[in-house]
Amino acid sequence: MAVKKTTILAWDDDPASVARVKPARRPPATLSRLKLPVVISGKAPKAGVYAVGSDEFRHWTAADALARAVRFWAPLAPKRTKWQTGAKLPVQLNAGSDLNAYYARGGFDYDPGLSFFHYVVAGQDVYSGESPDIATHELGHAMLDAIKPDLWDAASVEAASFHESFGDISAVLSGLQIPALREAVLRDTDSRIHRSSRVSRLAEQMGWAVRQLDPGAAEADCLRNAVNNFFYRDPDRLPPTSPAAQLSSEPHSFSRVFTGAFVEMLAGMFIVRGDLKAAARDAGQILVDAIVAAPIVPNYFRQIATYCIRADEKRFARKYRSVIQGGFVRRGILPLGFPKRVIGGGVRLRVIRGRSYGLTEPLMVLAPEQHAAESFLDDLIQRGRVDMRAARGNENAMVVQPFIRKTHIMVREGGKLVLRRRMFDCGFE
């Protein structure tokens, strides 16, 4: 008698994708046996087919998406890559009531790992961990933190925005690992994958939920579209927040410039390679190589793009040279002509005068450069993202905004006041 293999049900794409396809049957993911293991807190339900909307279904579809992203990135990362949260990456699928998801290293009152939430919007349940787009985006934060830990505390708009872009790129490339989704994208875009598709439209359900609460805060048909036509601007000249239709220096908003260029690069690589799965892997490899090699500098987008060209030289003998350059030049990330690498850089502590923020003592900030640190801090404080309680004179600080989650905190280290990151917060601000 044939042994029946256990299967589970999992979403290929966001639960609110326009395609409204049924969940697919898959073998259950074994998170503890991944090269970089993951553990979902609580007792795992027995593997099997459960109704959409049940806790058991949500467990297995989240496990499926998380495993897909780890299986994609782990072989591309340097051999000794380790999670920043310990041997296993902890995941909480229902960490409370919020329209949110975040990655934290732990400490400063936040649990380490990935946290997903549940929120009811217009009578509809929204579980952020049920969306493969959001799960693989958050996993992207953890993976990038494992590959390039110095980005964590780097006070720089471009470094923080790159973290968000990597999350969205993780969602796109992880989605392209699914044969049915590759077929759908090639069909829907007539093989021009720089066009909007089920894969480029990220977090449709979260986008819908955000629009119910703040109509301008998400794109019309998703949270963010990896296919867009935003052109690079110096983030210094951008407002700290804006409606989704415009660019701001807020990291999720600004990240779209890099993500859009990357998808164009990927579209070009697909034409060169003729195989979408292989092109996705090569693009991921080029990006990881660039991240490992590139020092953190204020214009980090340009730096990474330049190192992508170098990575292609080393690994693929310039096979993708023109399409890499094409994607980044068209967005103004690379200049016309041959780009120069910026040597040096790197993140170190900078001293910022506290007076501008009403504080009576200086603040130490890790950053690639003084000006980058100041403008990053200005943005954070304007958006109400810093827990300033430890700072002397904080009663004079102008911006409090108690309803906003604090991604950063001022802490006392050896008597000095230092700015530290608590988390990458990815939900509704």
Least Å from the CB of residue 126 to Zn ion: 17
Least Å from the CB of residue 284 to Zn ion: 18
Reduced to 3 states (helix: H, G, I; strand: E, B; else coil), residue 262 is helix
**Burial (CB count within 10 angstroms: exposed 0-12, middle 13-18, buried 19+), residue 401:** middle
At a CB cut-off of 8 Å and minimum separation 6, what does 415 contact? Answer: none
Per-residue binding string, Zn ion, 377-406, x by CB under 5 A, is ------------------------------
Q: Smaller CB distance to Zn ion: residue 232 or 424? A: 424
What is the Cα–Cα distance from 151 to 135, expressed in whole angstroms?
A: 21
Q: Smaller CB distance to Zn ion: residue 164 or 188? A: 164
Neighbours of 379 (CB within 10 A): 24
Of the candidates 143, 125, 140, 138, the one whose C-alpha atom is nearest the C-alpha of residue 58 is 125
Work out whether 207 is an interface residue with Zn ion (CB under 5 A). no
Instruction: Report 126-165 residues binding Zn ion (CB under 5 A).
Output: 164
Least Å from the CB of residue 44 to Zn ion: 26
Neighbours of 310 (CB within 10 A): 17
Least Å from the CB of residue 426 to Zn ion: 3
Angle separating helix axes 276-293 and 300-316, nearest 10 degrees: 120
What is the Cα–Cα distance from 242 to 245, expressed in whole angstroms?
A: 8
Q: Smaller CB distance to Zn ion: residue 146 or 352? A: 146
Q: Smaller CB distance to Zn ion: residue 145 or 188? A: 145
The β-bridge relationship of strands 386-387 and 416-421 is unpaired
Work out whether 279 is an interface residue with Zn ion (CB under 5 A). no
What is the Cα–Cα distance from 60 to 131, expressed in whole angstroms?
A: 12
State which residue has the least CB distance to Zn ion: 426
Alpha helices in 34-131 (DSSP H): 55-73
Estimate the share of the chain in helix, then strand, then coil, as percent rounded to the nearest 5. 40, 15, 45
Q: Smaller CB distance to Zn ion: residue 28 or 427? A: 427
Least Å from the CB of residue 144 to Zn ion: 10
Q: How far is CA 289 from each of CA 52, 167, 250, 406, rounded to the nearest angstrom?
A: 39, 16, 26, 32
Q: Which stretch binds Zn ion (CB under 5 A): 151-159, 167-175, 273-281, 404-412?
A: 167-175
Alpha helices in 196-331 (DSSP H): 204-213, 251-273, 276-293, 300-316, 321-330
Least Å from the CB of residue 161 to Zn ion: 10
For residue 113, give both structure tokens.
Answer: 């790992």
Least Å from the CB of residue 141 to Zn ion: 6
Count CA within 13 A, CB hemisphere, residue 383.
22
DSSP letter assigned to residue 99: S
Q: Which stretch binds Zn ion (CB under 5 A): 13-21, 186-194, 361-369, 417-425?
A: 417-425
Residue type, 96: G
Least Å from the CB of residue 228 to Zn ion: 16
Instruction: Report 39-68 residues binding Zn ion (CB under 5 A).
Output: none
Instruction: Report 213-252 residues binding Zn ion (CB under 5 A).
Output: none
Interface with Zn ion (CB under 5 A), residue from 143, 426, 428, 429: 426
Q: Smaller CB distance to Zn ion: residue 100 or 306? A: 100
Q: Smaller CB distance to Zn ion: residue 255 or 325? A: 255
Q: Smaller CB distance to Zn ion: residue 8 or 426? A: 426
At a CB cut-off of 8 Å and minimum separation 6, what does 207 contact? Answer: 16, 218, 219, 221, 222, 223, 224
Count of residues near Zn ion by CB under 5 A: 4
Q: Which stretch binds Zn ion (CB under 5 A): 67-75, 215-223, 370-378, 416-424?
A: 416-424
Q: Which stretch binds Zn ion (CB under 5 A): 86-94, 184-192, 396-404, 419-427?
A: 419-427
Work out whether 167 is an interface residue with Zn ion (CB under 5 A). yes
Q: Smaller CB distance to Zn ion: residue 60 or 83? A: 83
Least Å from the CB of residue 170 to Zn ion: 10
Q: Smaller CB distance to Zn ion: residue 12 or 429? A: 429
Least Å from the CB of residue 375 to Zn ion: 20
At a CB cut-off of 8 Å and minimum separation 6, what does 292 contact? Answer: 78, 147, 148
Binding site for Zn ion (CB under 5 A): 164, 167, 424, 426
